[in-house]
Structure 1
């Protein structure tokens, strides 16, 4: 009977050890599985972050390059605009005297403009070759760059000659680029006066123009005669 008890006791102990071993092995497997799971997640997560960083870095650098190019282009455009403004200012201020002279000339031309409504037109004139005579009390001297005592100079290269042509253009409206001067000389009927005979280059417009000198103000037209023919 004692043998049966001992055998039962040993069988019970072996069963307990097997049960204990089974529990321990199960726990060990569970722990190993957890360790593997955690390690896997850490490894995969780390690779994803690295890949994400590698993918985003070129895009970030590209954006930086594009932004830099935009900034450079904007700066370049602003510099060009500033340079253009500076250039225009420099051109305007290079020769103040010329600017003043131009402004004075423009103002003078505006003042010299005659009022055509005031002109007096009559048929005929000083000879049978005159078709009609035009006079205008609003005519004014055309201005002059000459100073001191004036003596008419009938030399085509002189300042006086050019100023006489200016007065003729002013009275007739005939452009000097389309003008042929047939005669320009002294008006012997009065002092400090001249007479010019001119026409358009096609000879469709023909004039005899009377001008007189006004001290300090230049030549002023006094009468225009429209001619039938150019005098020979």
Structure 2
């Protein structure tokens, strides 16, 4: 009886030990599997994290390179744009300078032309005035020479030689010298003077000539003259008609 109980108890202890061992093995297996799973997940997560980190770094590096390239490109474009703007501005300044220079040259040339024209006009006026003054002076001299008191004229000279014979033939030497004396006494020009009459004035060596400054309606002057031997005809009186 006691032996049977002892066997039964011994059998129960064995069963308990076996059961506890089985439970321990199960726990160990569970712990191992859990550890394996946990470690595997950690390694995968670490690998994924590392891979993600590597990808992120690469993306960031690529982004940095692209940004740098973009910055370089933008800087290059800005430099090109700046250079283009500078060149355009320099060209505009040069064009404005050339245009200003050209305008100044045109204005200066215009002023020079105006000054030349003004100087030429003044010279012409001065020359005309001088000419008028000379003509006036010559006329006054001629009038002074042609209009002295009676008997103060001088003989006009002659080409005739020998004994003088008064001639009233138009175109003869004596005729021409009478006209010369008349022009001398009146201040007229023999080339434009109109001769109205040439005749005797009361003696063989005295003559009278009626003349005018143009071919008007009548004579303007009557010149009385006398012959001076070897010196020609000498005006002695001028009548204004």
**TM-score, length-scaled by structure 1:** 0.46
Q: Which has the higher contact order (CA 8 A, sep 6+)?
A: 1
- Structure richer in strand, relative to its length: 1
- Structure richer in helix, relative to its length: 2
Structure having the higher Rg: 2
**TM-score, length-scaled by structure 2:** 0.45
